[in-house]
């Protein structure tokens, strides 16, 4: 009879939503294994196990992914890579991007945009990554702002700036690890300074001889 009573109590406790196991002598729940960690961090939804989808509109800062049987188009916070072609509808924006990198030519800016696309593709195809999003739309279209964090904890936006493949431009939000907008933007500015000094990516195009 006592055994039956214990089993009933265990079943009730588990179904109530509270973990049955507790740390000995502490009374707090045992930490769940990482494999079953909830897919939410703060107010961001975390897309674990996402994979890059090959798509003609992919570029350095925007790309299509697949997660849990659905496809999404995502757009990085904080950074903007040059356009990957010249057209009437994007010529003004491409001009702004070219001026940001020290007044490089439009064709040169496009070359950087293509390099950024391949850089992002290579990172997302070769390694695992996590997408953090609030599903905030980009200019009313179907893209969603996000952070992409690689397996080693590095932000994709950090690497793009560090390699001279993106300008610090567009919307920012607090990072999933709690860094405020001003703090993370300052960090990106420091990475950009290093990229300029080393003449990486777009910063090397008009760099004085001996710096590139």
The answer to whether position 20 is within a domain reads: no
- In which residue ranges of the chain is pLDDT below 50? 1-38, 212
Q: Are the C-beta atoms of 133 and 45 separated by less than 8 Å?
A: yes
Length, in residues, of the chain = 212
For residue 143, what is the domain's CATH number? 2.40.50.90
pLDDT at residue 211, as a whole number: 55
The answer to whether position 128 is within a domain reads: yes
Q: What angle do CA 94, 198, 194 make, to 5 degrees?
A: 80
Residue 206, Cβ density class (10 Å: 0-12 exposed, 13-18 middle, ≥19 buried): middle
Q: Which domain holds residue 77?
A: 40-204
Write down the pTM of the prediction.
0.80
The answer to whether position 211 is within a domain reads: no
Give pLDDT tens digits for 88-138.
999 999 999 999 999 999 999 999 999 999 999 999 999 899 999 999 999
pLDDT at residue 209, as a whole number: 64
pLDDT at residue 123, as a whole number: 97
pLDDT at residue 80, as a whole number: 98
The answer to whether position 94 is within a domain reads: yes
> What's the number of domains the chain is made of?
1
């Amino acid at each position: 009879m006592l055994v039956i009573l214990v089993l009933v109590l265990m079943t009730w406790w588990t179904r109530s939503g509270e973990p049955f196991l507790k740390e000995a002598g502490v009374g707090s729940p045992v930490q769940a294994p990482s494999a079953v960690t909830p897919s939410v961090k703060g107010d961001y939804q975390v897309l674990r196990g996402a994979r890059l989808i090959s798509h003609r509109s992919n570029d350095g800062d925007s790309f299509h992914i697949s997660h849990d049987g659905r496809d999404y188009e995502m757009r990085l916070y904080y950074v903007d890579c040059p356009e990957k072609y010249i057209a009437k509808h994007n010529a003004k924006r491409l001009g702004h991007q070219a001026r940001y990198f020290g007044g490089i030519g439009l064709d040169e800016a496009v070359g950087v945009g293509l390099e950024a696309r391949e850089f992002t593709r290579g990172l997302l195809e070769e390694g695992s990554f996590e997408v953090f999003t609030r599903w905030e739309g980009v200019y009313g279209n179907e893209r969603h702002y996000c952070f992409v964090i690689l397996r080693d904890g590095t932000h994709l936006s950090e690497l793009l700036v560090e390699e001279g493949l993106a300008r610090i431009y567009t919307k920012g939000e607090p990072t999933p690890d709690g860094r405020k907008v001003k703090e993370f933007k300052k960090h990106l500015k420091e990475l950009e300074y290093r990229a300029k000094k080393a003449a990486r990516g777009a910063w090397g195009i008009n760099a004085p001889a001996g710096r590139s």
